[in-house]
Amino acid sequence: MIERSVLSLSLGDSEKTIGEPPRWRRFTSGLFGEKLPTRLASEPLEELRRFAILARLHGQVDDDTLDRFLDAGYTVEQADLVTHFIGLHAPAKRPIGSVMVAWLAIAIAAIFVYFFIRSLVEEPAISLIITGLAFVTFASLTAPHEHRIR
């Protein structure tokens, strides 16, 4: 049961959470109050989390990653189960073409907003501010939303 919780946790983690952060990042995180990811206390569970993150982000894992997973006490069958779980629960990736089209559409909409506002208001600074707000609004409305498994 705890392994399922670790797998659910890994769905929201990025590749930056794997391994020890560099010393400069630990220093700057202290200055700016950034919370650094912490490793799981159990080495096998941490290796499970690491394996799941890499499987989700890269589709397939390399031999070194699989060897580390097996050395942590897991089996090849469990590796297959993890990749199956990740495939079922990971958010679907949008094709790169659709992402580019979405950003292009947002940029074009923002340009139209700028020229529309500019025709109403004589101040270019106000037009730029409203355009920036429109751009952020359009981008947030079209961004995919991630759902975590509970």
Closest CA to 50 of 36, 66, 35, 34: 66
Predicted pLDDT at 120: 92
Separation between Cα atoms, residue 129 and residue 114, nearest integer Å: 9
Band (144; pLDDT cuts 50, 70, 90): low
User: What's the average model confidence in pLDDT over 94-103?
Assistant: 69
Q: What is the mean pLDDT of the chain?
A: 81
8, 48 in Cβ contact below 8 A?
no
135 close to 127: Cβ distance less than 8 angstroms = no
Alpha-carbon span 145 to 12, nearest angstrom: 12
pLDDT at 11 over 90: no
Domain-by-domain residue ranges, the chain? Answer: 2-89, 96-142
Mean pLDDT of 55-65: 84
- Confidence band (pLDDT; 50, 70, 90) for 102? confident
pLDDT interval class at 114 (50, 70, 90): very high
The token duo for 100 is 């580019």
Regarding pTM above 0.85, the answer is no
What is the tens place of the pLDDT at every residue in 23-56?
A: 777 777 777 777 766 777 788 888 888 888 888 8
At CB < 8 A and 24+ separation, what contacts does 132-136 make? 134/109, 134/110, 135/106, 135/107, 135/110
